[in-house]
Structure 1
Amino acid sequence: MIQHSELTNDGGVLHNVLADNGHGPIRLIPTRAEPQLRQRRPERKATGLPAVVNSFKYAISEAGIVRGTLPLLQLNQKDGFDCPGCAWPDPDGKRSAFDFCENGAKAVAHESDSRRITADFFAQYSVAELSTYSDYWLEQQGRLTEPMVLRAGATHYQPIPWGEAFDMIATSLNSQRSPDEASFYTSGKAVNEAAFAYQLFARQFGTNNLPDCSNMCHESSGAALTNTLGFGKGTVTLEDLENAELIFVVGQNPGTNHPRQLTALQHAKRKGAKIIAVNPLPEAGLISFMNPQETLGMLGVGTKLADLFLQVKINGDVPLFKGILKTLVERDDVQPGAAINWGFVHKYTTNIDDLRNSVRQAPWEDLEQLSGVSRAQMSLAADWVCETERIVICWCLGVTQHQNGAGNVQELVNLLLLRGAMGMPGAGACCVRGHSNVQGDRTMGVWERPAPEFLDRLRDAFQFEPPRRHGLDAQRTAKAMHRGRIKTFISLGGNYLMALSDTQFTADALQRVELTVRIGTKLNRADLVTGEQALLLPCLGRTEIDFRSIHNVVQEQFTSTENSMGVVQWSRGRFTPASSLLLGETEIVCRIAAAALGAKATVDWLAWGQNYDYIRAGIAKVIPGCAHYNRDVRKPGGFYLPNPPRERKFPTATGKALFTVNPAPERKLEPNQLLLTTIRSHDQFNTTIYGLHDRYRGLHNTRRVVLVNAADLRQLGLIAQQKVNVTSHFAGQTRTAYQFTVVEYPIPAGCAAMYYPEANVLAPIDATDMVSNCPAFKSLVITLAATPA
């Protein structure tokens, strides 16, 4: 168990050293310095030729000319594989031969890496030494090639046969006093077949401890949409977005995180749509888009996207949208029907009077001060809202990762309901999911709070009684590990350590576990901060062929995923695996289940691991809309899952959509305090770091930066590119991140931004959304102090 945790200074860079289970002094923050920061003026246009050049440059440098470029021709194609990056949907009809973005190209190249991590690598580097390198360096060492074990007291990972690894997991699980001493974490990259098998295994084992990455990103969206619409997913299709007349893009940076969305916005713009960008930072992708599939775009000619940029303060979304709603209600009070779609409201909604009364009582001066947006700008947005009911509101984590994240989403829904912009072409809620199958994993049952109806269907289909008590989400899992109540932690993909808030706390928690297991394709820091023992199980990537021998006949398996807009489609790799010792993540899950459950199993897990059609047949028995899964998923382009709000059906307690009253968050900053949000750079995807550049924001060679308004720098007595220590303040607690560089940036006064996951050490484990328990990464109160000379 942990003996102590302390801060030390090594080579001028402060970092955390954990005296752990005998594996050596593990560092959460690497000691090897990054190159010198280079800052340029932020870009005002996104994509175009630079994106194409960077895509192929990265692909070739990672995987070589052949393996780096050929997979791109299969990416997002109807007979190819689903992008392992974001969950943006593909067109239903004809698709371009180059239907991928820079982000997707990097994700594929990252997976197709020609470099290999073998047993010799782990013999050369101890776990302690590996921890001195950056997350970027760890990812750059190449693909994992064989299962490895870190035994109690060992300093190095060593090879272990697959069978022995599965037995080791089974022994750990079956030695527990209660099934709830196990936790089964899932990354949004896991495919539907693996996710369904995983949750069924966990529940046959006896627990609902199924935390997943949704807990840390869009859990607030799911909670808010379920509360207001009775359904926890977005309601639009790609066609709706392209046919909308007014589009809000809120708390989202599509140019970096979902670049293919820019094409849809461009299509809508060319049809006459107006676009309103709502964000604390100006983002190049919403200013102008150079479509790389058009000649003019390749020549640097961009399409202006945002007609109006509302630069809100951090967490200013509720006061901003409350101001727009207040304008609409006041206009309708003067002329009924001028701003509210009363036909829709009376037929399909409830609680309208509470909403109207709340916005009437909201003082304008408070709404302006809290949002950072003038009444005149809110009035202009309201003018455009009044002109149409074909309104789509898109949002991402800038909206959800606050202590009032669910309230933020609910306020967006209020605007859609007030105008009747729901369940009609060109209108609705567009919850932009981040990871490629994060929505599919939830559909397949990966959730710590399953509905009784879902558990009933599992019971009837597989002849066992599932546990009914709710399990632990990602945050509560860390707290349970910290208290010593989790003995076995299995991670299906992902980087739980770096994805969750309060990195030091999470690291301490992981080291109190008896066995940690991670299934993945590459090395990351979660493999270095482990339990007393650890297993590293390498799996196939999306790009790779998954062969099985069925009745002595070699057959190629495929998997399936669900995108942001509820389309389920198949994904089939076409390229030679990185190692002959790799197994598909689905087979790994099934073989763990077979070893752990033994005679208690009610399905033939080994057969499931060999033929994924058996798993899909199980899905058909349990998941609504999937009755003919094996047939429908083989259709070119896949099939849509049911989405009641698209038909103006709202499965709430009243059968109607619900207007909600959402208080504006109070902003209580002491002198010299700032409100911090975390952001992603252009050279990363979630916790995966592709490089050290943020091209569109003009920041190069480093990630350890703090973006601050020029006036705040002067007020604080700091100068640009000065080294600072950053301290967060929450409930009388402080946490400090050391040796960051402060840079001047056009962010609202009183606000600051840092890259995720480096800033996660500042996010308290108990700072979460009041409804969904999603960590509040985007609202951290901080102070800056110049580092001692």
Structure 2
Amino acid sequence: MARQKSDEPRIETFEGPAGGWGSVRSLAEILPREQLPVQGLRELARQNKPAGFACVSCAWPKPAHPHPAEFCEEGAKATAWELTKLRTTPEFFKDYSLTALRQWRDYDLEQHGRLTHPMRYDIDLDKYVACSWDEAFDAIAAALGTYDPNSVIFYSSGRTSLEASYMYGLMARMYGNQNLPDSSNMCHESTSVGLKAAIGVPVGTTQLKDFEECDAIFFFGQNVGSNAPRMLHDLRAARKRGVEIVTFNPLRERGLERFTDPQNPIEMATLSETGISTQYHQVKAGGDIAAIMGIAKFLIEWDDVAAAAGDAPVLDHDFIKRHTHDFDAFADRVRATEWHDIEREAGLDRGALEQAARVYAISKAVMAIYGMGLTQHVRGVENVRMLVNFLLLRGNIGKPGAGPTPVRGHSNVQGQRTVGITEKTELAPVEKLKELYSFDPPTEKGLDTIETCRGVIDGSVKAFIGMGGNFLRAVPDTGPMEAAWPSLDLTVHIATKLNRSHLLPGRVAYLLPCLGRIEQDIQASGPQAVSVEDSSSCIHGSVGKAKPASPHLLSEPAIVAAIAKRIVPSNPRIDWDGWVADYARIRDAIEATYPDIFENFNERLFQRGGFWKGNKASERIWLTPSKKAEFHVPTGLSATGFADVAGRYRLMTLRSNDQFNTTIYGFHDRFRGVKGTRDVLFMNAEDMVREALSEGDIVTLECALDDEITRRRSGLIVTPYDIPSGCLGAYYPECNCLIPVEHHAEQSHVLAAKSVPVKLLPTNSQKPFM
């Protein structure tokens, strides 16, 4: 198959709404491209439906009463991408060495199609060659038997089911480590750390029904139009009943501005739209602490005036007294913070923040929705803590229509953590595993993603097992990581398609193709179902019906079991083969391990809307040391972790609406008007004038952190965009090469990809990164 060509690059203003005919045209384009004009529509009709399959992209909740088409543009692309009729067979690898394939674009690698056979890397040929499953499993086990367990990584992507995740975590602990980094380490670990410290639970407290009961929504750092478009239905409904939506986001994103519902015939026929945000504040990247500080300053000072005058309070003092700790310290810091500092760091004037504060002051139930625009900063945990402060001021946690609402970007990344994919002993059911399976689980903290990167670079990590994902593309410091990766003794990738991580094999390397979630999974007891957890902590069953891409594929549980039987001691309490024969038995084991969460797991598997696993903070039971919700005094107003100096910019890495995480579906970012390229630098027009740059100029970015490593990204097309001065935007993962491993969130270790310090190089000093 010839490599796909992108269109001639062009950038022009897009005037349309999110959704609408643009989404329809996008669906009409991808289904034929993946050779799915009929089957694709049939499977899409089952997506996110009761007794259907859970979308393999984002984790937005699945409603009990779904729309006729309960999928979005991005979800449809993900489904087509997995069900594609295109194939990457052993014959393909006969034609291409891995050295040659490393010149291919990410899009071309995955677009070539589904992997069909287990493959072994032949170092002499520099090619993958077909092998048997037993050969692969025996060789993997033989290698793993030679290592110190602490030098082995068991990574998992956020789309892996609860069943496979439980088995995978158990296998790792029986092998002897908790080196279980996952997608959460790269995105919402700041949520897990920040919410846990503040309210005692590591997840949001809201459910879909809260959209029907709120009277205001505050939105921070999440691009709904590209990253969770199904939420637009909930936002549209909220706006139709008069809910105020106040948005803080550096870029003006179309999904947060206006939306045409593709499932509404009247809106489609009349080209009508629903406005989404009632206020839109373009905060500087890393300026959310300052923005929330400004709102809090208005509220607290208004409350002080009301108290002196004997008027009704602005704050919920009864809630603060009964349910919170350390309010006075926070309030003192707020009162002492100067307005000029707030305005400078937020990039917003006092009047804009007052406008937002007035909405909050009169609202009775407020949801705070946020994404990686809060979590992926050096002080990302403080961002989350500050958001909780904001909600606590007026008792907006633990009542209908209110609470923190983190938007998880991967379909089961939150669920993986629920069933034990974690490097942290305090989050793992160590004692229960010991009781159930009569072994001593490790209690030493394992390696997270950042620590794994350090270990690969310094050589202390010897082997990497990857359950899905595209680890090398997702992590920071692309140059040093790719240089160090081939020194690994063993790499194993369990995957559906070829990606760049597979092209840098260890000395011994295997590529193991697995069934996709949408495909029929037949085991000894018959067709199987799996389960996932959504962003609102609801558990859903998922059943694939599509014919598998190849008869040679194994399911993720089958692959885990085959490896586990070879690398961990035989245990009479674990029947790996029995679990694979009937996944209901895995769910029984999950229920036995987590009885408070998964009671009657199998009976509730296909409950409409999922079954909620519960949340103590939503009941105003605070599992913190003080037994109260904790106010946090921020250490500063900027979340960036570096000072602003002349010539230094804050780079935000972004996704287009033609991608999902590291998967690139194409080269058009419709909402931003980009066609045919991803080599774009979005820049404030006034900054362009100061830098003597014109639209279409080609520039190089260089990381401005001084650690004696040069990191550059060349060939970027300067594009004027509505973005705050001093901030830049460019696409992820291509710009991960600019992010040092050590530029990460304090406490959570999430890569700080939303505020990377960079500088522009003069044209005559450009040097290509690769």
TM-score, normalising length: structure 2? 0.96
Which residue, out of 296, 304, 311, partners 2:275?
304
Residue identity matched to 1:61: R
Do the aligned partners of 1:153 and 1:532 also contact (CA within 8 Å) in 2? no
Mapped pair 1:742 → 2:718: yes
Do the aligned partners of 1:502 and 1:764 also contact (CA within 8 Å) in 2? yes
Which residue, out of 422, 429, 432, partners 2:397?
422
**1:601 Cα offset (Å):** 7.2
Mapped pair 1:191 → 2:166: no
Mapped pair 1:110 → 2:81: yes
Partner of 2:140: 169
Which residue, out of 49, 73, 77, partners 1:77?
49
Partner of 1:643: 615
CA offset digits 1:260-298 (Å, max 9, x no partner): 111101111112100011111001111111011112331
Do the aligned partners of 2:4 and 2:108 also contact (CA within 8 Å) in 1? no
Mapped pair 1:664 → 2:637: yes
SS of residue paired to 1:599: coil
SS of residue paired to 1:157: strand
Once the two structures are overlaid, the 10-residue window that deviates more, 479-488 or 579-588, is: 479-488
Mapped pair 1:43 → 2:15: yes
Do the aligned partners of 2:422 and 2:428 also contact (CA within 8 Å) in 1? no
- Aligned residues: CA RMSD: 1.5
Whole-angstrom distance in 1 between the partners of 2:322 and 2:87:
61
Partner of 2:225: 255
Residue identity matched to 1:673: R
Whole-angstrom distance in 1 between the partners of 2:572 and 2:106:
39
Whole-angstrom distance in 1 between the partners of 2:4 and 2:107:
11
Equivalent residues in 2 for 1:459-470 (5 A)? 459-470=434-445
**1:449 Cα offset (Å):** 0.5
Partner of 1:86: 58
Whole-angstrom distance in 1 between the partners of 2:658 and 2:52:
25
SS of residue paired to 1:211: coil
Whole-angstrom distance in 2 between the partners of 1:215 and 1:306:
30
**1:586 Cα offset (Å):** 1.5
Whole-angstrom distance in 1 between the partners of 2:9 and 2:528:
46
Partner of 1:605: 576
Partner of 1:273: 243
Once the two structures are overlaid, the 10-residue window that deviates more, 596-605 or 290-299, is: 596-605
CA offset digits 1:142-167 (Å, max 9, x no partner): 00001001134441100010111111
Do the aligned partners of 2:62 and 2:610 also contact (CA within 8 Å) in 1? no
Partner of 2:597: 625
Alpha-carbon spacing, 1:457–1:598, altered in 2? closer, same or farther (3 Å):
closer
Whole-angstrom distance in 2 between the partners of 1:355 and 1:182:
43
Equivalent residues in 2 for 1:222-301 (5 A)? 222-299=192-269, 300-301=271-272
Whole-angstrom distance in 2 between the partners of 1:687 and 1:543:
20
SS of residue paired to 2:368: strand
Once the two structures are overlaid, the 10-residue window that deviates more, 669-678 or 579-588, is: 669-678
Which residue, out of 54, 62, 69, partners 2:34?
62
Mapped pair 1:412 → 2:384: no
Once the two structures are overlaid, the 10-residue window that deviates more, 476-485 or 226-235, is: 476-485
Whole-angstrom distance in 1 between the partners of 2:549 and 2:6:
30
Do the aligned partners of 1:499 and 1:687 also contact (CA within 8 Å) in 2? yes
Whole-angstrom distance in 2 between the partners of 1:453 and 1:199:
9
Equivalent residues in 2 for 1:496-575 (5 A)? 496-550=471-525, 555-575=526-546
Partner of 2:126: 155
CA offset digits 1:487-526 (Å, max 9, x no partner): 2200000000000111112213322211101111111000
SS of residue paired to 2:494: strand
Which residue, out of 743, 747, 760, partners 2:736?
760
Which residue, out of 711, 715, 740, partners 2:686?
711
Whole-angstrom distance in 1 between the partners of 2:612 and 2:566:
35
Mapped pair 1:778 → 2:750: no
**1:50 Cα offset (Å):** 1.6
**1:400 Cα offset (Å):** 0.5
**1:452 Cα offset (Å):** 6.9
Partner of 1:330: 301
Do the aligned partners of 1:725 and 1:784 also contact (CA within 8 Å) in 2? yes
Once the two structures are overlaid, the 10-residue window that deviates more, 72-81 or 615-624, is: 615-624
Alpha-carbon spacing, 1:771–1:389, altered in 2? closer, same or farther (3 Å):
farther
Whole-angstrom distance in 2 between the partners of 1:783 and 1:453:
42
Whole-angstrom distance in 1 between the partners of 2:285 and 2:330:
24
TM-score, normalising length: structure 1? 0.94
Whole-angstrom distance in 1 between the partners of 2:55 and 2:234:
17
**1:434 Cα offset (Å):** 0.3
Whole-angstrom distance in 2 between the partners of 1:272 and 1:35:
42
CA offset digits 1:517-555 (Å, max 9, x no partner): 1111111000001211211111111110000124xxxx0
CA offset digits 1:629-651 (Å, max 9, x no partner): 12221434431101111111111
Residue identity matched to 2:724: P
Do the aligned partners of 1:60 and 1:69 also contact (CA within 8 Å) in 2? no
Mapped pair 1:576 → 2:552: no
Residue identity matched to 1:236: T
Partner of 1:20: none
**1:667 Cα offset (Å):** 5.7
Which residue, out of 284, 288, 293, partners 1:317?
288
Alpha-carbon spacing, 1:767–1:740, altered in 2? closer, same or farther (3 Å):
same
Residue identity matched to 2:306: Q
Residue identity matched to 1:539: C
SS of residue paired to 1:655: coil
Do the aligned partners of 2:437 and 2:571 also contact (CA within 8 Å) in 1? no
Q: Among the aligned pairs, what percent are the same residue?
A: 39
Partner of 1:220: 190
Residue identity matched to 2:474: A
Do the aligned partners of 1:234 and 1:565 also contact (CA within 8 Å) in 2? yes
Partner of 1:590: 561
SS of residue paired to 2:690: helix
**1:669 Cα offset (Å):** 2.7
